[in-house]
Amino acid sequence: MKLRDSNEITTAASAAAIEDVSFKYAGGDREALREVSFELRPGEMVGIMGASGAGKSTLAKCLNRIVPRFEDGEFRGVVRIGGRILDGDRVCDVASMVGMVFQDFEAQLFSTNVTHEVAFAMEQVGLPRAEIAARIRPALADVGLAGFDDRDPTSLSGGEKQRLAIASVLALRPGVVVLDEPTSDLDPEGKTEVFALIRRMRDQGLSLIVIEHEAEELRSCDRIVLLREGGIVAHGPPGEVMTRLDLLEECGVHPPDMNRVIDLLGIEGHAASVDEAETMVRARFPRLPAMLDGPGAIARNSSSGPPAAAQPEPPLLRVEDLNFAYPFGPRVLDDVSIEIAAAEFLAIVGQNGSGKTTLAKQIVGLLAPTGGTITIAGRDRKNLSPAETAHEVGYVFQNPDHQIFAATVADEVAFGPRNFGLDSAEIASRAEEVLCAVNLAGDRDRDPFLLSKGERQRLAVASVLALRPRILILDEPTTGLDYREQRRMMALVGDLNRAGIAIVMITHTPWLVAEYARRVILMRKGRVMFDGGVREFFERDELLANSSFHPPEATKLGRRFGVTALRPEELAEWINLNHGRFHNR
Amino acid sequence: MPIYLYIDRGTLVHRLNPTVKVFALFIMFWSVYWVDHPLALLPLGLLLVALAQWTGSWPNFYRLRWLFILLIFFTTLAWMVFYRKGPALINIPFLHLSRAALVFGFGRGLKLAELLATSVLFLSTTKVEEFTAGLQRIGVPYRVGFAITLSFRLVPLFIDSALTVVQAQSLRGYDFNRGGPLERVKRYVPVVIPVFMGALRKANNMAMALEARGFGISATPTSYIDYPMLPRDRIAFAALIGLGTIYFLIYWFGYGAISVK
**What's the gap in Å between the CA of B120 and the closest CA on chain A?**
17
Would you call A337 helix, strand, or coil by DSSP? strand
Interchain contact, B172 vs A401, CB within 8 Å: no
In this structure, of A81-95, A254-268, B87-101, the range with the lowest mean pLDDT score is: B87-101
- List Cα–Cα distances, A155 to A109, A152, A158, in angstroms: 12, 6, 9
Question: A223: which strand partners?
Answer: A46
**What's the gap in Å between the CA of B156 and the closest CA on chain A?**
10
Work out the pLDDT band at A301, boundaries 50, 70, 90: very low
Work out the pLDDT band at A2, boundaries 50, 70, 90: very low
- Please tell me which residue, A287 or B73, carries the higher pLDDT value: B73
Per-residue confidence (pLDDT) for residue B1, from 0 to 100: 46
Helix%, strand%, coil% for chain A, nearest 5: 40, 20, 40
Per-residue confidence (pLDDT) for residue A450, from 0 to 100: 87
- Sequence-distant (6+) residues with CB within 8 A of A393 are A317, A363, A364, A376, A469, A470, A471, A472, A473
Within 8 A of A330 by CB-CB distance, chain B residues are: none
Mind listing the pLDDT tens digit for each residue in B11-27?
999 999 999 999 999 99
Work out the pLDDT band at A335, boundaries 50, 70, 90: very high
Per-residue confidence (pLDDT) for residue A8, from 0 to 100: 41
Spatial distance between the Cα atoms of A333 and A362, rounded to a whole number of angstroms? 10
- Please tell me which residue, A329 or A380, carries the higher pLDDT value: A380
Mind listing the pLDDT tens digit for each residue in A216-266?
889 889 999 999 999 999 999 999 999 999 999 999 999 999 999 999 999
Per-residue confidence (pLDDT) for residue B179, from 0 to 100: 79
Mean pLDDT on A145-172: 90
- Please tell me which residue, A348 or B142, carries the higher pLDDT value: A348
Q: Which of A323, A340, A357, A330 lies closest to A523 in space, CA to CA?
A: A357
Q: What domains, with CATH codes, occur in chain A?
A: 6-244 (3.40.50.300), 315-551 (3.40.50.300)
Work out the pLDDT band at A53, boundaries 50, 70, 90: confident
Mean pLDDT on A350-358: 90
Within 8 A of B150 by CB-CB distance, chain A residues are: 110
Spatial distance between the Cα atoms of A105 and A96, rounded to a whole number of angstroms? 20
Within 8 A of A405 by CB-CB distance, chain B residues are: 189-191, 193-194
**In 10 A of CB B224, how many CB atoms?**
20
CA angle A499–A500–A504, rounded 5-degree value:
110
Within 8 A of B208 by CB-CB distance, chain A residues are: 66, 70, 91, 102
Work out the pLDDT band at A29, boundaries 50, 70, 90: confident
Per-residue confidence (pLDDT) for residue B135, from 0 to 100: 86
Interchain contact, B224 vs A172, CB within 8 Å: no
Which residue of chain B has the CA closest to A395?
B171
**In 10 A of CB A581, how many CB atoms?**
12
Mean pLDDT on B130-158: 83
Q: Considering chain A, what is the average pLDDT of its residues?
A: 89
Would you call A324 helix, strand, or coil by DSSP? strand
Residue A475 and residue A506 in contact, taking contact as beta carbons nearer than 8 Å: yes
Work out the pLDDT band at B261, boundaries 50, 70, 90: low
Substitution target in A62, A89, A91, A109 with the highest count of B β-carbons within 10 Å is: A91
Substitution target in A405, A457, A463, A467 with the highest count of B β-carbons within 10 Å is: A405
Work out the pLDDT band at A13, boundaries 50, 70, 90: confident
Per-residue confidence (pLDDT) for residue B94, from 0 to 100: 78
Per-residue confidence (pLDDT) for residue A583, from 0 to 100: 54
Mind listing the pLDDT tens digit for each residue in A547-581?
878 899 999 999 999 899 999 999 999 998 887 66
Within 8 A of A150 by CB-CB distance, chain B residues are: 8
Total CB pairs under 8 A between chain A and B: 174
Mean pLDDT on A481-501: 92
Which residue of chain B has the CA closest to A127?
B222
CB nearest A95 (choices: B129, B152, B212): B212
Q: Euclidean distance between the first and final Cα of chain B, in Å?
A: 49
Within 8 A of A99 by CB-CB distance, chain B residues are: 212
CB nearest B171 (choices: A154, A395, A404): A395
**In 10 A of CB A10, how many CB atoms?**
19
Kindly state the percentage of chain A with pLDDT values over 90: 70
Residue A62 and residue A33 in contact, taking contact as beta carbons nearer than 8 Å: yes
Per-residue confidence (pLDDT) for residue A57, from 0 to 100: 92
Helical H segments across chain B, by residue range: 12-15, 18-34, 38-55, 58-63, 65-82, 99-125, 128-137, 142-171, 181-186, 189-212, 231-252
**In 10 A of CB A357, how many CB atoms?**
21
Q: What ipTM was assigned to the predicted interfaces of this complex?
A: 0.85
Residue B224 and residue B64 in contact, taking contact as beta carbons nearer than 8 Å: no
- Sequence-distant (6+) residues with CB within 8 A of A122 are A131, A132, A135, A171, A172, B222, B224
Per-residue confidence (pLDDT) for residue B3, from 0 to 100: 57
Residue A493 and residue A328 in contact, taking contact as beta carbons nearer than 8 Å: no
User: Backbone phi, then psi, for A84, in 5-degree steps?
Assistant: -95, 130
Spatial distance between the Cα atoms of A198 and B177, rounded to a whole number of angstroms? 50
Per-residue confidence (pLDDT) for residue A298, from 0 to 100: 56
Which residue of chain B has the CA closest to A121?
B213
In this structure, of A10-19, B36-45, B130-139, B224-233, the range with the lowest mean pLDDT score is: A10-19
Q: Which of B100, B101, B114, B98 lies closest to B34 in space, CA to CA?
A: B114
Residue B136 and residue B119 in contact, taking contact as beta carbons nearer than 8 Å: no
Per DSSP, A298 falls in state P
